[in-house]
Chain A
């Protein structure tokens, strides 16, 4: 403890210095002021587009749905958000079905991505909650069947052979698929039953015959790739993007639907030769959201970008839409926007 006289002396100087500081502060206050709008800078974020450089678009855009469409949607959104700093977008990768039932059909999200068309029970749920929507084609994917690069005994499969491998009453060994294949057990790696990829594979290849349960099911393409890369007698299927980005890691099989084997590529998928495994990917904007100008503008931008080869094919690994499809989608969208903003 210092002596009390000292304290007195210090007290006075401190009071003086405080006064000086306050004076300086007051001067500064007079110099630089800001006026606050009703929201304030920490406010709700929508509405005041101050400092956006004259860009009038602002507001949030919430997107959920398919993990397959997720990379494409985030790539498009990245560019859109860069052009319009007032936009506050969020994208969640929830799976097609999860997105519809948990978020979209209860009116929580503006868009839902899907790697298959919306299903009847989801339509019902949306209708019950009064959520209207339109369907837009985002891109085309080529479901790719892969084997180990060491497996030089196999280059292609017919659709029927593929079905015997994956149907619910599936064959055990490779030589049961085709006689000249080795007598080794088949190891299967595929999409989990929550995934749109699984639904599409059943619909296009297996039909009534059902999907085998004797396989390693996963939502992550990486796990399928690791599994197939680990064994010469393994087979797996997933979206084209993974194979496109890692072509040396795995071997893609040609699929023979009657006109000879066709290997998956951006070209064969877009000109329709790669059947039946090329599939459209969708996004579903809700009509109510399209009534907002910033959401409508993003939807227009998205449709415009679906033909952008660098982005869709180069960066993400899907097949861009044709000019014709784009024209159609654009028309559909404009009609919907007009109706929504009516």
Chain B
């Protein structure tokens, strides 16, 4: 024993207890936050979709018609017996464990409010398993095709709705003139120039476009007669999208395919636009949604069928759609008691109301989308501009260097200023001094842009700084000017990082309430904003107002539905940005 002791002392043995304890503490810390947030979201979802009143039969019906086929599809795509065994084990074992644990907690500890063991099983076992399987399945060719198609459908609808929403505020007649006189000629020149290697055409594209835009703004006041809205959207959005789709297919050598890919969605969009108008739906938005969904989908389907690999995957949207339909039929046929969700089509298309059942979020959704679109543009331009200047153009030493450092410190400090202060700034500067008006969309977007500007600048700077200096030197050595180096080397390399920072900042901006209250944004409006200078309400404002209503239905159901809507829009926005980023990363 004595020798052992001296040996241990000699080698200086270190206890691993502290290390292990630290490891598990870190694990606990990371899990605690996530679990708390997860539980909150589960309860919000239960409230928003009225799942507390969902009968077990209803849950079982949709589990069998929707979830099980989806899982089977993913398993088929993964094609790995080990995964199949594992998933079967987890789903089966989880059922027993959750049911037993749930019963035990209910019996011995506390009753769990508004949660049945079936729901707990869905949230704790089925949802993570489905997410895992979707991930595994998407790595197989069939799954990739299925998710690719599904993504284009969902993404097309989302972007179409967003574009349609923006045209509620922006003057589509100016857009019509600008497109016809500026965008189209410029694009045509550019395309012609790059195809025929005619540099002069490419160079001329930008001036021609600018002249066209200026002419459009000027002519807007002069020209009195315009095509109808549907024709405008058809001409400025649907036709170009279809033409690009057709061109992409054409480039792969399929003339007939190109005609079909371009023509069918175009025809559908036109028909949809006119039909929607006659049944009371907004025609232009329908047209835009069909065009934006149809063309990419058609291009994708053509590419998959052309490639001949994983064609089965194209059935995924049908599988899901069919599952929903069959589920609804079964529920209808057997009279299964179904929940009555707060978050239903009426909620996102109607105005607020004094009764919880009729309350809707539509004006606030439009307000938020418009503000956030403007904020995205403003903060991206200002943020990237500032960071490029600070990183690429300023000297590191001398008086300019000191000034830069001063600027740098101030920007870092600005990021820590409470948002209420920015609200005051917006009120004083934009609303009062510059006269953009109390509580208008312009004032709100400018204020929120300033609010997130420091975050955008700092993250963009980080991204630009992480571009290796060798690349810049290499570009310099080729005789490139600083502008050429920035444009061709630095910005493309830094783009994914810049986007990540902007996404995070925008996520903060869409949820802000305090600055909006300060600039006098309305709590409740009954119609969507019609111009950038009209008063608006944003989702967090309306949700907060509802949370103070005396009726319990408002405080739980309607507020929960609002939170879920806000989250869906946020996730959609981030998803778009993440897709762009991934594409840019792959491009590098």
Contact = CB atoms under 8 A, between A and B. Distances in A.
Interface of A: 2, 7, 10-11, 13-14, 18, 21, 25, 28-29, 31-36, 40-45, 60, 62, 64, 67, 70-71, 74-75, 77-78, 81, 85, 88-94, 102-103, 108, 219-222, 241-242, 244-246, 311, 315-317
B520 A92 contact: yes
Contacts of A103: 438, 520
A77 B527 CA distance: 12
Given A70-B523, A92-B521, A78 B354 contact: yes
In this complex, which of B231, B517, B535, B548 has the most chain A Cβ atoms within 10 angstroms of its Cβ? B548
A84 to B, nearest CB: 10
Interface string B520-545: 11111111001101110100000001
A316 B354 contact: yes
Given A34-B229, A35-B226, 6 more contacts: A28-B227, A32-B227, A40-B173, A42-B172, A242-B550, A245-B551
B392 interface: no
Contact of A21 (B225, B239, B439, B521): B239
Contacts of B80: none
B527 A88 contact: yes
A29 B531 CA distance: 26
B392 to A, nearest CB: 34
A11 B191 CA distance: 11
Nearest to B553: A245
Contact of B550 (A89, A90, A245): A245
Contact of A90 (B243, B530, B537): B537
Interface in B95-140: none
Contacts of A11: 195
Contacts of B537: 90
Given A35-B225, A89-B525, A67 B548 contact: yes
B254 to A, nearest CB: 12
Given A42-B169, A42-B530, A93 B550 contact: no
Contacts of A220: 547-548
A99 B354 CA distance: 22
In this complex, which of B223, B251, B550 has the most chain A Cβ atoms within 10 angstroms of its Cβ? B550
Interface string B378-401: 000000000000000000000000
Contacts of B171: 40-43
Given A32-B230, A89-B525, A90-B522, A221 B354 contact: no
A14 B522 CA distance: 51
B353 interface: yes
B354 A93 contact: no
A60 B534 CA distance: 9
The 5 nearest A-B residue pairs measured at CB? A42-B171, A90-B522, A75-B354, A32-B228, A245-B550
Contact of B355 (A28, A31, A32, A315): A315
Contacts, number: 149
Nearest to A32: B228
A276 B230 CA distance: 62
A246 B552 CA distance: 8
B226 A34 contact: yes
A74 B351 CA distance: 11
Given A88-B527, A242-B550, A62 B227 contact: no
A108 B355 contact: no
A10 B235 contact: no
Contact of A7 (B174, B195, B439): B195
Contacts of B555: 222
A70 B548 CA distance: 11
A81 B360 CA distance: 15
A104 B40 CA distance: 39
Contact of B225 (A31, A33, A219): A33
Nearest to B270: A28
9 contacts: A2-B251, A21-B243, A25-B231, A31-B231, A41-B171, A62-B535, A74-B352, A78-B354, A89-B526
B267 to A, nearest CB: 12
Contact of B530 (A14, A33, A45, A94): A45
Contacts of A34: 225-229
A62 B537 CA distance: 12
Contacts of B255: 13
Given A34-B227, A90-B524, A92-B520, A42 B170 contact: yes
Given A40-B173, A103-B520, A221-B548, A90 B525 contact: yes
Contacts of A241: 550
A331 B130 CA distance: 67
Contacts of A311: 354
B231 A32 contact: yes
B250 A10 contact: yes
B105 to A, nearest CB: 23
A91 B522 contact: yes
A260 to B, nearest CB: 28
B22 interface: no
B483 interface: no
Nearest to B527: A88
A219 B545 CA distance: 12
Contacts of A31: 231
Given A29-B231, A90-B537, A315-B355, A71 B549 contact: yes
In this complex, which of B174, B250, B438 has the most chain A Cβ atoms within 10 angstroms of its Cβ? B438
Contact of A108 (B224, B253, B520, B524): B520
Contacts of A315: 354-355
A44 B354 contact: no
B420 to A, nearest CB: 14
Nearest to A103: B520
Contacts of A81: 351, 526-527
Contacts of B551: 245
B234 interface: yes
Contacts of B353: 78
A60 B535 contact: yes
A7 B555 CA distance: 63
B173 A42 contact: yes
Given A21-B239, A60-B535, A77-B526, A41 B550 contact: no
A55 to B, nearest CB: 14
Nearest to B551: A245
Nearest to B171: A42
A88 B363 CA distance: 11
In this complex, which of A41, A75, A81 has the most chain B Cβ atoms within 10 angstroms of its Cβ? A41
A10 B192 CA distance: 13
A240 B355 CA distance: 18
Interface string B137-176: 0000000000000000000000000000001011111100
Nearest to A316: B354
A285 to B, nearest CB: 17
Given A7-B195, A91-B524, A103-B438, A222 B548 contact: yes
A71 B551 CA distance: 11
Nearest to B252: A2
B235 to A, nearest CB: 5
Given A45-B531, A108-B520, A245 B552 contact: yes
Nearest to B535: A90
B247 A14 contact: yes
Contact of A33 (B226, B253, B535, B552): B226
Contact of B520 (A25, A32, A102, A246): A102
A92 B253 CA distance: 59
A36 B224 contact: yes
Contacts of B355: 315
A71 B354 contact: yes
A132 B32 CA distance: 57
Contacts of A44: 531, 533-534
Contacts of B523: 70, 91-93
A315 B359 CA distance: 13
Contacts of A74: 352, 354, 524
